């Protein structure tokens, strides 16, 4: 063990500076990455000033006008000869919304309401709700198995026939969300009968399983054939 004896009147401690400044040079601004634009007009009909920022090569543009035959077509900004232009690249597939529901029938009729956000639509896709039913392809299959007896349904699995009627979407003013919006609901009426072995009779006082597939579609052909502008 070493003993150190220090007998000076003052002691100087050497260390780092009291303050350290660091200057960083972030360098020159680089080129931005690719951007997805969306709009209701064909991109080649738009001026550069109509885009949020000037398009650059390889940017993409999605046509979101549901009434257009080019709905969900994706265009890419590319160089053609001595100029740049938007060219069709591919088309997005709108996916189905699938859901199984327990539906209660009374005297052959049942009613359900589908939140359109579940179909993948985050904002209102039409300017008014009149004839909005035409924007939706709704398919339904009835199991006619009482939900309390699923999956076998040995006591109530009679042959059944089902028809559906899709109504115009509406805002549910009783279901205001935290962001001060009202859910947009799609009403669907179901009418069903079953064969009891003797006759076809309305399904009554029975909760059965119904399988739904819903898709968002181009409404033009249906709306063009409507009279009076009403669904």
pLDDT, tens digit (0-9, with 9 covering 90-100), for 131-156: 889 889 999 999 888 887 777 666 66
The pTM for the full model equals 0.59
Residues 6+ apart with CB under 8 A from 96: 213, 214, 215
What confidence score (pLDDT) does residue 4 get? Answer: 62
Q: Can you tell me the distance from the alpha carbon of 68 to that of 217, in angstroms, rounded to the nearest whole number?
A: 11
pLDDT, tens digit (0-9, with 9 covering 90-100), for 194-217: 998 899 999 999 999 899 999 887
> Which has the closest alpha carbon to 66: 9, 12, 125, 17?
125
What confidence score (pLDDT) does residue 231 get? Answer: 46
What confidence score (pLDDT) does residue 20 get? Answer: 74
Each domain of the chain, given as residue ranges in start order, spans 36-91, 97-219
What confidence score (pLDDT) does residue 3 get? Answer: 65
pLDDT, tens digit (0-9, with 9 covering 90-100), for 184-193: 899 999 999 9
Collect the ranges in the chain with pLDDT lower than 50: 229, 231
- Start-end of H helices in 1-124: none
Please say whether the dihedral angle defined by the alpha carbons of residues 101, 105, 109 and 112, taken in this order, is positive or negative: negative
């Amino acid at each position: 063990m070493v003993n150190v004896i220090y007998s000076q009147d003052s002691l100087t401690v050497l260390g780092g500076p009291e303050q350290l400044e660091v200057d960083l040079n972030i360098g020159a601004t680089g080129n931005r990455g690719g951007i997805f634009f969306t709009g209701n007009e064909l991109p080649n009909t738009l001026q550069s000033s109509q885009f949020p920022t000037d398009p650059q090569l390889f940017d993409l543009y999605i046509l979101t006008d549901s009434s257009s035959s080019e709905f969900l077509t994706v265009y890419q900004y590319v160089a053609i000869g001595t100029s740049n232009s938007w060219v069709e690249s591919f088309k997005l597939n709108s996916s189905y919304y699938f859901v199984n529901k327990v539906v209660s029938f009374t005297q052959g009729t049942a009613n359900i309401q589908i939140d359109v956000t579940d179909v993948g639509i985050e904002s209102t896709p039409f300017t008014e709700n009149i004839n909005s039913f035409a924007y939706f392809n709704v398919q339904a299959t009835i199991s006619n198995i009482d939900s309390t007896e699923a999956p076998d349904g040995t006591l109530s699995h009679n042959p059944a026939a089902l028809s559906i009627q899709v109504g115009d979407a509406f805002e549910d003013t009783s279901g205001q969300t935290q962001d001060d919006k009202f859910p947009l609901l799609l009403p669907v009426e179901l009418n069903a009968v079953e064969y009891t072995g003797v006759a076809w009779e309305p399904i009554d006082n029975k909760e059965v399983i119904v399988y739904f597939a819903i898709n968002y579609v181009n409404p033009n052909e249906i709306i063009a054939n409507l009279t009076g502008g009403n669904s």
